[in-house]
Amino acid sequence: MSGGDMPAGRISSGGPWEDRYGYARAVVAGPHVLVSGCTATVGGEVQHVGDAYNQTLTAFSIAMDAVEKAGGTISDVVRTRLYVVNADDFDAVGRAHGEFFGRVRPACTSIQVAGLIDERMLVEVEVEAYRPGGTADAGS
């Protein structure tokens, strides 16, 4: 089977929004792990209200859980995206990114957005990983 014919695997976090809105926490396509946007929401509750630094760390922990379910590690992370509501929080978000990924140094894009789906959410993150030799069935 060629890479183009390989079915993609899906990873769920078990959260209610995935079924309700029809998406997966992550999609595994061959060696690629594409993690959907993650916020600092645990059990339906926004964590660390007013604290962009800790929201970022929590969101990255949620994203990395999906990467690990796909058989990846932090060393496999090749790209991150940071969606930040308030420009004044960019330093805090960047410091959290550096703490989390400083040794890995993935490509990173930071974007200021007008808002997220809950006004208490200050940041949303996306993570992409590349697992050499990985297959789509990891984590499925």
pLDDT tens figures, 23-67? 999 999 999 999 999 999 999 999 999 999 999 999 999 999 999
Give exposure, 47-81, as e/b (b: 16+ Cβ within 10 Å).
bbeeebbbbbbbbbebbbbbbbbbbbebebbeebb
Please name each of the domains of the chain with its CATH number: 3-130 (3.30.1330.40)
Give 20-30 pLDDT, tens digit per residue: 899 999 999 99
pLDDT attached to residue 13: 86
- Least confident window among 17-21, 35-39, 91-95, 116-120: 17-21
Compute φ and ψ for 61, nearest 5 degrees. Answer: -65, -40
Residue 2 has pLDDT above 70, yes or no: no
* Predicted structure pTM score: 0.89
Average pLDDT, the chain: 91
